[in-house]
Amino acid sequence: MSNLAIPNPHSIAIGLHDYWLSEAQFKAYEDVVPTLKALKNRGFKLIVISNVSSGKNLKIYMQKADIPDCFVVLIASGDVGYEKPNPEIFKMASKLSNTPLKTILLSATNMKKTT
C-alpha cells in the first residue's frame, strides 16, 4: 500500500513501463547501420554495454531502432549489477567476448528517442 492510497502501485508501475516499452519509438542515426555492418565485415567484435534495466529491454530498444544483430555480446547493467563507468562491467564484456580489456574501444551511443 502506498501513501497515496493506491492499492497496488507496483503493478501500475509495471503496466506503465510495459505500455511505454510497447509505444516508444527509437531511430538510429542514418550512419549507424552502415557503420556497424562495415565494422563487423572487417572482423571487429562488436559489444553493447548499456545502463538499462535488462537485456530484454535492451534487445527491444535495438529492434525498435532497427539496429541489426551484429554484436557478440550485449550487456545490460540491470542484469549484471554494475553500471558504466564501473570497470567491472567492462571486465565482464572483455571476458564474455574473449577480447583483451586493453583492446576494447569505447563509444557513445548512437540512438535517439523520436517520441
For residue 21, tell me if it sits in a domain.
Answer: no
Residues 6 or more apart whose Cβ sits within 8 Å of residue 110: 28, 29, 31, 32
For residue 4, tell me if it sits in a domain.
Answer: no
Give the number of domains in the chain: 1
C-alpha cell at 14: 509495471
Picking from 86, 89, 98, the residue whose alpha carbon sits closest to that of residue 48 is 89
For residue 13, tell me if it sits in a domain.
Answer: no
For residue 113, tell me if it sits in a domain.
Answer: no
For residue 11, tell me if it sits in a domain.
Answer: no
C-alpha cell at 97: 567476448
pLDDT tens for the chain, residues 1 to 115: 456 677 777 888 888 877 777 788 889 999 999 999 999 999 999 999 999 999 999 999 999 999 999 999 999 999 999 999 999 999 999 999 999 998 887 765 444 444 4
Structural domain span for residue 96: 27-105
How many angstroms separate the Cα of 90 from the Cα of each of 44, 50, 51, 71? 17, 11, 12, 15
What is the number of H-type helices and E-type strands within the chain? 5, 4
C-alpha cell at 43: 572482423
Rounded CA-CA distance 115/113 in Å is 6
For residue 112, tell me if it sits in a domain.
Answer: no
Task: For residue 94, give the CATH number of its domain.
Answer: 3.40.50.1000
Rounded CA-CA distance 101/21 in Å is 33
For residue 19, tell me if it sits in a domain.
Answer: no
For residue 15, tell me if it sits in a domain.
Answer: no
Neighbours of 65 (CB within 10 A): 19
pTM of the model: 0.75
